[in-house]
Amino acid sequence: MKLLTYMIFIFSIGCNSRNKAVVNIKKDSIAYELIKDNLYHDIAGNLYFRVMDMSNPEKPVSRYLSIVWNANQCDSINGGKMLLKDVVDAKSFEKILGFYYRDKNRFYIFNEMSDGGTFAVLNEIDFSSFKVLSNYYAKDKNNVYYKSNVISQADIPTFKVFPKILNGDTLWQYAKDKNHYYSFGDIIPDSELKLYELNE
């Protein structure tokens, strides 16, 4: 009889602890709600930028970035990292094109990588003249950019994107100015132009 009572007691403790664990998991899990254009928030008011982790292409996983890089220009040690909720204005946030985003205060760039990528403030731009040209390219009165990188050899006034149609798809990685053709921000040597079949 004592053995039976002991077994019932142990079983009831096990069931209670299992139920508590499930409750805690539900309480601790974060529910992300879409605001717009890959920007999400949770019940606590935190902001997140959603990316896809393709480390395992057979099992892509959604990741929610809470950090924005280059946001604190006084921080030269940690990459200027700050919480998205302290930087991004959710009400005015919008996707412009491709990897470029903006709100009323800043422009942002999404740097895609196999693990999902990073989200960063574009600091070195002229805000008033900055214009996104395609998924990859932008320019302002001072520079031409491939994502967040300055293309130092580019001629600003004549620089334009050069979309290429291949098998019915439009490829946006190409651009040109009066001096050069570009692929992913790099100058295409004249000797290789025929390989790219970039015809006017």
Token readout for 198 is 């970039």
Confidence of residue 197 (pLDDT cuts 50, 70, 90): confident
* H/E run at residue 28: helix 2-28
CA distance 148 to 132: 11
Q: What is the pLDDT of residues 58-99, one digit of tens each?
A: 999 999 999 999 999 888 888 999 999 999 999 999 999 999
Q: What pLDDT sits at residue 145?
A: 98
- What is the arithmetic mean of pLDDT over 12-26? 37
The answer, yes or no, to whether residue 8 has pLDDT greater than 50, is no
Domain positions in the chain are 23-123, 134-200
The answer, yes or no, to whether residue 55 has pLDDT greater than 60, is yes
Q: What is the CA radius of gyration of the chain?
A: 25
- Whether 47 and 88 have beta carbons less than 8 Å apart is answered as yes
Q: What is the pLDDT of residues 132-148, one digit of tens each?
A: 999 999 999 999 999 99
Q: What pLDDT sits at residue 169?
A: 80
Q: What pLDDT sits at residue 127?
A: 96
**SS3 of residue 22 by DSSP:** helix
Calculate the average pLDDT of the chain.
Answer: 86
The answer, yes or no, to whether residue 2 has pLDDT greater than 80, is no
